[in-house]
A and B are shown apart, each in its own frame.
Chain A
Amino acid sequence: MISVSNVFYVYPDGHEAIRDLSFSVQKGESIGIIGANGAGKSTLLKLLVGLYTPQSGCIVIDNMRMSKQTLRHIRQIVGFTFQQADDQLFMPTVYDDVAFALRNDGINENEVNQRVANALTIVGAMHLKDRPPYRLSEGEKRLVTIATVLAMKPKILLMDEPTAALDPKARRTLIHLVQELPHTKIVTTHDLDFVLECCERTIVLANGTIVYDGPTENVLTNEPFLHEHHLELPLMLQKKK
């Protein structure tokens, strides 16, 4: 489904964010990407949706090599939710925000209506449809951002720190939602409990390279390795001291 080969990315200020990164993702997989601040997690996601262009290496998504010509199509099958929900919600009402991509695609209003209702129902936010997004709570905003990408019927979901700034209940709602979504998912997060519950595979990044790629349970129980990479055991695995 996704193949990343020998990708390098250097920011305009010279900071080398991604170095010789290679991995592949199979259909239906749910992958957690973890690592210290500045390890390159968000940069990697932005490379996968073509917001950044790698200096070298190749990214193939759904058998399409990423290029200017394929970008539009790739973005239709990859849904990306931003770290800050506010950056993603900019229309006057939740309904308009969820309908934004569909209307840009020229889909007729009846189908737009149907798909918006469907996306909002999946995330349990149908009651918010006429509310202005900036008035919503952080948890509600997060659900709406997921609805905005679900409405596009993507095959792949990329989420950048989805549980950041959520209260425990909103976080739990999100975990249930992510577990139920059948899409191929890649999630970057510092919430290791979230990874343990939602992702069967984990990639650990350090200084722009992969230092671990394998089953989640193996890495999240390896305390010395986690400490070495500025991480710690998930809370549910920590013994009460």
Chain B
Amino acid sequence: MIYPHMLNIVQRRNIHPLSTLIITFTYIFVVASFHSYAFIEMIPLSLYPIAMIIFCRLSIRHIKHVLIASLPFATVIGVSQLLFIDEHILFFHWYIEARWMAFSTFVLKNTLAILAATVLFLTTPIEQLAGALLSLRIPRFLVIQLLLTHRYIFLFLEEAKRLREAYMLRAPRHRAIKLSVWGSLVGHLLLRTFDRAERVYEAMTLRGFSIQHMHIKIKRWTTEEMIYTYVTVILFIVYRLVVI
């Protein structure tokens, strides 16, 4: 009975930010809590982000880019598993090297956590997330720091894109930016984004912005949304407790 309601909530892409936040944190916690060789046990957990991507009709392209960007970091950190583990474990009927199982599990954990976080950011505007954090009693100045950092990241990316375009137009034969100009380019990028961020901040202060008075909307949590959250969180926890 409740399930069609839940689907409806998800499909409207209008999930309460508090629900998405609690579910995502629980999900990441559950994923991270599995032991180092739990590769198979974790596969069913991939259903959650996949279901969210399908129901919320999220852009696969966006998600693909995020995953590709995170993969090198996960791989580099995961390599430590290959260096320090030296034992064999039973995998179905075969004895295999544990290091490879640990490495694969680590990359899978990372991928699932990044997927869940990406789903969170794609389904919930940052202002609503800020409201959800406030309703969880996170200190106001931390929440505003998060909002301003989020704004700065976009200014940074925008300026970086302009700089890259300007470089590529004047270096049409280069496939990438030359190593020798990286220093100057990054320096310029930082100075330009600082300037831009300052102008945006000036625009905010002229319109009465202050940390104490910044308006952050906190949406009401409906019973449906509450049930959807509890059911999903309980499902994750039960799965974690059953599959040890």
Contacts and interface: CB of A to CB of B under 8 A. Distances in A.
Interface residues of B, number: 18
Nearest to A104: B208
Majority SS at the chain B contact face: helix
Interface in A139-157: 148-149, 152
B208 A105 contact: yes
B203 A92 contact: no
A106 interface: yes
Interface string A71-92: 0100110001010100110111
Nearest to A91: B127
A87 B203 contact: yes
Contacts, number: 53
Nearest to B203: A88
Given A90-B151, A92-B125, A92-B127, A101 B207 contact: yes
Nearest to A84: B199
Given A49-B206, A76-B208, A148-B207, A103 B215 contact: yes
B91 interface: no
A103 B214 CA distance: 7
Contacts of A149: 207
B59 interface: no
A105 B208 CA distance: 7
B189 to A, nearest CB: 17
A49 B206 CA distance: 8
Interface in A90-135: 90-92, 96, 100-101, 103-106
A87 B208 contact: no
Contact of A51 (B196, B202, B210): B202
B215 A104 contact: yes
B224 to A, nearest CB: 23
Interface of A: 46, 49, 51, 72, 75-76, 80, 82, 84, 87-88, 90-92, 96, 100-101, 103-106, 148-149, 152
Q: What 5 A-B pairs are tightest by C-beta distance, nearest first?
A: A103-B215, A101-B207, A104-B208, A87-B199, A88-B203
